[in-house]
Structure 1
Amino acid sequence: MSDKEPKFKKSLTLLDISTTSNTNAGCEDDCCKVSEIPHVQNTEDQSGQKSDFLIGGMDCPSCALTVEKAVKGIKGINGVQVNYNTGKMQVVYEDEKVLDQIPDTIKKLGHTIEAVQKKGSGRIYNIEGMDCSSCALTIEKHMKTLPSVKSVSVNFSTGKMTAEHDSSVEEIIKEISKSGYKATLVSSKRKSDQVKKDNSGTNLIIFSGALLLFGFLGSFANVSPSFTTLLYAVSIIIGGYKPARSAYYAVKSRSLDMNVLMTAAVLGAAAIGEWLEGATVVWLFALGNVLQTKSIEKTRNSIRSLIDLAPPEAFVKNGQELIRKPVEEISVGDVIVVKPGDKIPLDGLVIGGESSVNQAPITGESIPVDKQVGDGVYAGTINEHGSLEIKVTKLVEDTTISKIIHLVEEAQEQKAPTEAFVDKFARIYTPIVFILALVVMVLPPLMGIGTWGEWFYKGLELLVVACPCALVISTPVAIVSAIGNAAKNGVLIKGGAFLEIAGRISAIAFDKTGTLTEGKPKVSQVVLTGLSEVELLRIARTLEEYSTHPIAKAVAQYAKDKGVSTLLGDKFRNIVGKGVGAIIGDNEYFAGNLKLFKELNTSLGELESRILSLQQEGNTIVIIGSKEKIYGVIAVADAIRATSVKALKGLQAVGVNQVVMLTGDNECTAKKVASATGVNRYFAELLPEDKVKAIKQLQEEGNIVAMVGDGINDAPALATANIGIAMGGAGTDTAMETSDIVLMADNLEKLPHTVKLSRKAIRIIKQNIWFSLIVKALALMLIFPDLLTLWIAVISDTGAALIVIMNSMRLVKVNG
């Protein structure tokens, strides 16, 4: 994949936000590519109702493909998309009745399924007392007769009902009781997003392993061979029933997954009398599956745990009373009270009280932020001390933390270039080895080379080696781990493609104003020529008080902070592009630039060289005086962020060679800021289109370029760069939508961590791929010299997959 591909994608995102449906995993064909970017048609393109489910027990992308094909085979299903990375499935259908068939289909494949809570006014209820699927149908039919119920779906296998309704929760519970069942509201979405733990697989492994052990020990004792064979057979049946059932439905769905290959190998081993081998293969395969599933669920739960950040209930102020309510029932405009030490349940504005709030869960900032009346707060952050009254500004599904979770899940569903390549390789590799196994079983014996049993066994070994689990899993688990780590550190990486590019960047371009600097001018120096500072500032504040210009505001605020009051002024006038004037007392005073006072023919004397010197140092000059005399000069400059210098040094430490500043300011100002921040290069006096040219120049020099800006004013440059990074995403929805990477805090503190994490992710992905290929190659080479056995082949496959997963999970623990 070329470095220009994400650029094309970003231009779509920036110019036409309506086209930003996420690219989804799982497409088998190359029919959906746009400029070679891995893009997959998803369920958004299909008409009908949509429902989301969590699928548990998928330990390999081929499992996701099998599930997808199986569900597609249900009559009435218009479209299915299963994402292995997030463990989610979206189904498109016309009639809700078809949903009743999905749980049975999924369970037959050996997986668990749970409905995901709907957005809007949808609610999840636990239903007690159902003992068959017809009970679920009874409840569903009854609820559909109620005018207040817009939609309802009852899942017997999970014991849950999803209903969208206008009536109160109490009324719904009452209606359920009429049908003879008990309902309770699942007040928190996080509870509905957790797949139920199923320990039956572990128990079967223990039982199957015990029978295998007894059979093996019996072969050394004076025990009948028929009895040991029986023990092995029962062990195979107990341990292999689940994968065999999954294999049956995979074949029915015309899918060639690991269950099919392993089942064929075990049946073949039994057919040639290798009962010990067959039982060992089954047990090792089942054990490997359980360990893989548990490991992968840990990476998935690292994202799902974000949901637990915001509390499920809040104290709502009703007059003088505080009423505890589920967050789903709280509306925009309601006032909630958050006590010291509690988590803030919803986004809002502080309307009463003062406190410090730990925003680390959202922005990654380590230091609590002071909050007072008028300040915004985010759901999931922690109120350190002092009670706060907060006016709710967003519903639970629209909070910043909800958007983070949604964007992270979308990011995990996008295939990185490496992952797309590996998937394509695996789709070719598996059937080729499968056919080769059949050839090995049949052709040599027909040609009179060796015996049928000998070559049949080699063919079975090839079937096991044909499972590309470790290879296919090498990239997605690493990407999920890295994106999850970044999200917890206040950085949103919007897909594997951008993670890979971030790991290869050699140049980062920064917008100056608001990125390297605070974007808020401040008084840096006051030069007096006759008046005291207080007298000068009184005149300055009087002149600048009512101006909306940022420089004027900075001067007025400086005087105000010094406790200087205004004078009585009259006949205020704005002199466009030059300054302001007013009558104060009996004289007319002016505040403006050098041009204004030259036009007034006011003598500057020796002060002119001082003014030019201040300008060369990057200051904007405000001269205070009259037509006859200059009373003083106030220098204003944009302060450099405290975190900028540290962040830029951190970037150079992790190997970013070119740290570049882009600014529309003059050469002198640019030079001063560049010197203070430590950037390698700067481009000054740039218009927006010139910033694009500067990015292209860096790219022509052979650099992979990232552009850091605010996500709005710098849109053309962000789109031109190989990767666009926006700051302050927590406070700006636009920034979260328009860039490839979002720094949730309004500083550059987490940028070095993002680059470091991305580079480590690329290293781990490469390690995983090479390790998987080498293990597979060694296994293939050991087959024909008779050095490989079936059980060693299984260990090489499942063991390699486990090692790859554990290696990828190291990314979860990379410190920010």
Structure 2
Amino acid sequence: MTRPNARNEDGSTAASQAITTRLQVQGMDCASCAIKIENALNRMPGVRTVDVSVSRGTVTVRHDNANSAEMTSKISSLGYTVAESDQASAREHSPIESEERTGPSRGQDHDREPSDRPWWQTGKARLTIASGVALAVAFAVGKSVPAFERWAFLLAMMVGLVPIAKRAFSAAMAGTPFSIETLMTIAAVGAVFIGATEEAATVVLLFLIGELLEGVAASRARASIQGLTKLVPKTARLEDSEGRVSEVEADTLLVGAVIQVRPGDRIPADGVIVSGESAIDESPINGESNPVRKGRDENVFAGTVNGDGLVKVRVTAAAADNTIARVVKLVEEAQESKAPTERFIDRFSRYYTPGVVVVAALVAILPPLLFGGDWNGWIYKGLAVLLIGCPCALVISTPAAIAASLAAGARRGLLLKGGAVLEKVGKVTAVGLDKTGTLTAGKPQVTDIVGFGRSEGDVLRFAAALELGSSHPLATAILSKAAEQRTQIPPTSEASAIGGKGVRAMVEGTKVFLGSAKGAAELAAVSDAQQARIAALNDEGKTVSLLVLDDSIAGAIAMRDEPRPDAERGLKLLAEAGIRTVMLTGDNRRTADAIGEQLGIDVEAELLPDDKQRIIGRLQKEGFVVAKVGDGINDAPALAAADVGIAMGGGTDIALETADAAVLHGRVSDVAAMIVLSKRTMTNIRQNIAVALGLKAIFLVSTVVGITGLWPAILADTGATVLVTLNALRLLSVPSGHGPSDKGASR
């Protein structure tokens, strides 16, 4: 709701200022709850916009000095509980500025939300139990004192109906006249007037039970993603510059701080190992059952578990920006972004509910008026039709499935920015994948060690000696290989670098050089056989460094950025799903073709960023729904141009911001898993809509012909709501063979 700009004293127009107030609300379970609250608050004077987050349990209001207590009262009158509020202390000049300056973080919202409270301690549970006890007492009174039976059931009905009627009246006054509470109130009161008091009391109890079950199911879906925040420990062992260790709150850790993590402890922050080595159990955030061995300069994530060694970690992200916090934030934002199907259901329900009221009225009035039917009988049928038409199951059919899928995906490192993206991913028919950092690990690895007159061990030992202390990617690859083989690295002297050619030093009394073939050829003769071997390695897309001892070629070390362990399997899964794949890379043709042949994927090489974007456009013109997967700045244009842009985990911030989705743990097979998740979700939504409308259609016919009445009507509505919600919650699990913990997807 947007208001006109205010005028300054001189008559000029300026953007009027606003205050942001965030309210923590309990009891919101579905989209209809959000609509009622939005309608109520939007009618208040001074309110500009209302943002209701069902997944976070918050209501954020931008307003011009609107009364916070009045907002709380409005929401409470609709049957919800306002736990606490946070009002901005300063005015804003823009919505973005206000959120940054005055609004509390989403992480704080989670900390405040009382989601741990057992269901039986909620207001809904207490009301349902009271209604049930009252109904049981009424049955007992009716059996022992029949003369008071009608009054006993009337009182039992009032226990549950009065709160429902108050909510219905408040919703109607706030702009939502056709709420589920309104339909329930009309039906119950109408039943009393035609003498069906016992049924009216029972129907009210069944309605309350249905609401309670809906709330429990919604809480379970919400807790699935909120539970991630509990993986991060509350405290951390901070090491100061003098090596002293003290225990501090984990959320106070600053970027650059060094922390100690003992064996068996959870890691309290994202960071890089600065000393020590250990097996890290990453299953809490990625589902991978096998621990990953990590050492110096390797990344670790908050919430994962340190295995068998003490490690020191330099913090690289504040608590609000760590991996888990980003996952939660992205999923919460995504849950508020509606899919096209969900938007259609919302629009449909706006006309559907008033239509149900009209149909129910016609069923109750026309047969007696036109055909002399029994008024009591047809009014009874009309009331049953009113209950059958309650839109709860239909309204929740789509958002429940989407929320469950987004939560399930996030727990496995599959992040999708909204229901629209989730729906679109399942329609993908072609995928363009970057090479470096996407299909490959993004860093060179030693693939071949060749000895020319010396053993492979000697070649690696001398090469590692020259590279010790260097941070160059090729040097890192050689040193990693030496560490893997537990090579004893000898000391060096007189070390120096030869620009553009390599490095040299004295090792064990021998002059040693390691560098390019051109640089080595200036120091020693290269035989035809050696040149042929080097050329063969180059043809495989590998970078070759030659080792020279004194004045002879002693060996060669070949390196290449190798495919990720699961890349071949991931591409095979996409192919089996009938999806075309193509590699889009800026790397040279020879290297790209070598990797492409190894993985069995079409290759487009030596591309600039606009070339990648152009190829995405070409595929779209050919009729493909295209996903682009990448991790770098040069992928951003293509990610934005694709129907679905997917950023690989560990990618640049711009790639993550531009993309529609992210594969947090960098597995190619997770792209296929994301598509499977989308297809499962859409199947689930279709099932939910069929159940919601199908049950209503069956009971509508059976009620009109006189087979069923009020009890079956409310059971049909409550049953449909529960079935739809339970069906949606099935999406919280991953079917066998598609989960990231699948053996073939391991690191």
Taking structure 2 as the reference length, the TM-score comes to 0.82
Deviation at 1:780, TM superposition (A): 2.7
CA contact (8 A) 1:349 1:377 kept: yes
The 1:556/1:464 distance shift into structure 2, 3 A limit, reads closer
1:737 and 2:706 matched: no
The 1:217/1:335 distance shift into structure 2, 3 A limit, reads same
1:795 and 2:720 matched: no
CA distance in 2, matches of 1:47, 1:463: 46
CA distance in 2, matches of 1:406, 1:773: 34
1:360 and 2:330 matched: no
Deviations 1:104-130 (A, max 9, x none): 333322222223789xxx9xxxxxxxx
User: Equivalent residues in 2 for 1:606-625 (5 A)?
Assistant: 609-622=532-545
Deviations 1:625-659 (A, max 9, x none): 89x99776554322222222333344445x25333
The 1:771/1:188 distance shift into structure 2, 3 A limit, reads closer
CA contact (8 A) 1:235 1:279 kept: yes
CA contact (8 A) 1:68 1:81 kept: yes
CA contact (8 A) 1:537 1:564 kept: no
The 1:602/1:384 distance shift into structure 2, 3 A limit, reads closer
The 1:566/1:414 distance shift into structure 2, 3 A limit, reads same
Deviations 1:344-367 (A, max 9, x none): 333344455544332333444433
Which residue of structure 2 lines up, in the alignment, with residue 39 of structure 1?
none
Report the 3-state secondary structure (helix = DSSP H, G, I; strand = E; otherwise coil) of the residue aligned with 1:725. Answer: strand
CA contact (8 A) 1:363 1:743 kept: no
Match of 2:422 among 473, 487, 499: 499
Which residue of structure 1 lines up, in the alignment, with residue 305 of structure 2?
382
CA distance in 2, matches of 1:556, 1:348: 22
Deviations 1:531-586 (A, max 9, x none): 77688779978998999975577578778968476685779343xxxx56999999
The 1:190/1:342 distance shift into structure 2, 3 A limit, reads farther
CA distance in 1, matches of 2:593, 2:165: 70
CA contact (8 A) 2:465 2:489 kept: no
Deviation at 1:213, TM superposition (A): 4.5
Which residue of structure 1 lines up, in the alignment, with residue 628 of structure 2?
707
Which residue of structure 2 lines up, in the alignment, with residue 259 of structure 1?
181
CA distance in 1, matches of 2:443, 2:244: 42
% of aligned pairs identical?
A: 38
The 1:732/1:562 distance shift into structure 2, 3 A limit, reads farther
CA contact (8 A) 1:725 1:739 kept: yes
User: Equivalent residues in 2 for 1:280-359 (5 A)?
Assistant: 280-317=202-239, 323-332=246-255, 334-351=257-274, 353-359=276-282
User: Equivalent residues in 2 for 1:480-629 (5 A)?
Assistant: 480-526=403-449, 563=489, 572-574=498-500, 579=501, 591-592=515-516, 605=528, 609-622=532-545
Deviation at 1:301, TM superposition (A): 1.1
1:727 and 2:648 matched: yes
CA distance in 1, matches of 2:548, 2:144: 113
The 1:231/1:787 distance shift into structure 2, 3 A limit, reads same
CA contact (8 A) 1:538 1:567 kept: no
1:676 and 2:598 matched: yes
Which residue of structure 2 lines up, in the alignment, with residue 437 of structure 1?
360
1:72 and 2:42 matched: yes
CA distance in 2, matches of 1:207, 1:431: 31
Which residue of structure 2 lines up, in the alignment, with residue 776 of structure 1?
696
Which residue of structure 2 lines up, in the alignment, with residue 464 of structure 1?
387
Deviation at 1:381, TM superposition (A): 2.3
User: Equivalent residues in 2 for 1:111-260 (5 A)?
Assistant: 111-115=80-84, 191-195=111-115, 198-213=121-136, 215=138, 223-225=145-147, 227-255=148-176, 256-260=178-182
CA contact (8 A) 1:542 1:567 kept: no
1:747 and 2:667 matched: yes
CA contact (8 A) 1:85 1:476 kept: no
1:786 and 2:706 matched: yes
CA distance in 2, matches of 1:116, 1:371: 44
CA contact (8 A) 1:350 1:373 kept: yes
Which residue of structure 1 lines up, in the alignment, with residue 676 of structure 2?
756
Deviations 1:422-446 (A, max 9, x none): 1111112112222333344444444
Note the residue ranges of structure 1 that are not aligned, 5 or more in a row: 1-26, 29-44, 123-149, 152-162, 166-186
Give me the CA root mean square deviation. Answer: 4.2
CA contact (8 A) 1:338 1:387 kept: yes
Match of 1:274 among 196, 206, 214: 196
The amino acid that maps onto 1:789 is G
Deviation at 1:266, TM superposition (A): 1.1
CA distance in 2, matches of 1:261, 1:463: 6
Deviation at 1:263, TM superposition (A): 0.7
Q: Greater CA deviation, 462-471 or 452-461? A: 452-461
CA contact (8 A) 2:339 2:419 kept: yes
Which residue of structure 2 lines up, in the alignment, with residue 716 of structure 1?
637
Which residue of structure 2 lines up, in the alignment, with residue 109 of structure 1?
78
Which residue of structure 2 lines up, in the alignment, with residue 146 of structure 1?
none
Deviations 1:132-173 (A, max 9, x none): xxxxxxxxxxxxxxxxxx68xxxxxxxxxxx999xxxxxxxx
Note the residue ranges of structure 2 that are not aligned, 5 or more in a row: 3-14, 91-100, 740-747
Match of 1:808 among 705, 709, 728: 728
Match of 1:695 among 607, 616, 621: 616
The 1:485/1:583 distance shift into structure 2, 3 A limit, reads closer
CA distance in 2, matches of 1:728, 1:526: 31
Deviation at 1:622, TM superposition (A): 4.7
CA distance in 2, matches of 1:77, 1:494: 28
CA contact (8 A) 1:188 1:312 kept: no
The 1:490/1:364 distance shift into structure 2, 3 A limit, reads farther
CA contact (8 A) 1:240 1:286 kept: no
Report the 3-state secondary structure (helix = DSSP H, G, I; strand = E; otherwise coil) of the residue aligned with 2:707. Answer: coil
Deviation at 1:694, TM superposition (A): 3.3
Deviation at 1:592, TM superposition (A): 3.8
CA distance in 1, matches of 2:555, 2:245: 57
CA distance in 2, matches of 1:603, 1:202: 84
Report the 3-state secondary structure (helix = DSSP H, G, I; strand = E; otherwise coil) of the residue aligned with 2:645. Answer: strand
CA distance in 2, matches of 1:765, 1:204: 31
The 1:734/1:193 distance shift into structure 2, 3 A limit, reads farther
Taking structure 1 as the reference length, the TM-score comes to 0.75
CA contact (8 A) 1:426 1:472 kept: yes
Deviation at 1:792, TM superposition (A): 1.4
Which residue of structure 2 lines up, in the alignment, with residue 414 of structure 1?
337
Deviations 1:35-67 (A, max 9, x none): xxxxxxxxxx99523233343323442222112
The 1:711/1:805 distance shift into structure 2, 3 A limit, reads farther
CA distance in 1, matches of 2:194, 2:286: 61
Report the 3-state secondary structure (helix = DSSP H, G, I; strand = E; otherwise coil) of the residue aligned with 1:518. Answer: coil
Deviation at 1:238, TM superposition (A): 0.3
Match of 1:646 among 562, 566, 569: 569
The 1:642/1:117 distance shift into structure 2, 3 A limit, reads farther
CA contact (8 A) 1:117 1:189 kept: no
Deviation at 1:315, TM superposition (A): 4.2
CA distance in 2, matches of 1:581, 1:429: 77
Report the 3-state secondary structure (helix = DSSP H, G, I; strand = E; otherwise coil) of the residue aligned with 1:340. Answer: coil
The 1:590/1:453 distance shift into structure 2, 3 A limit, reads closer
The amino acid that maps onto 2:709 is T
Match of 2:25 among 55, 58, 67: 55
Deviation at 1:612, TM superposition (A): 4.2
Deviation at 1:506, TM superposition (A): 3.0
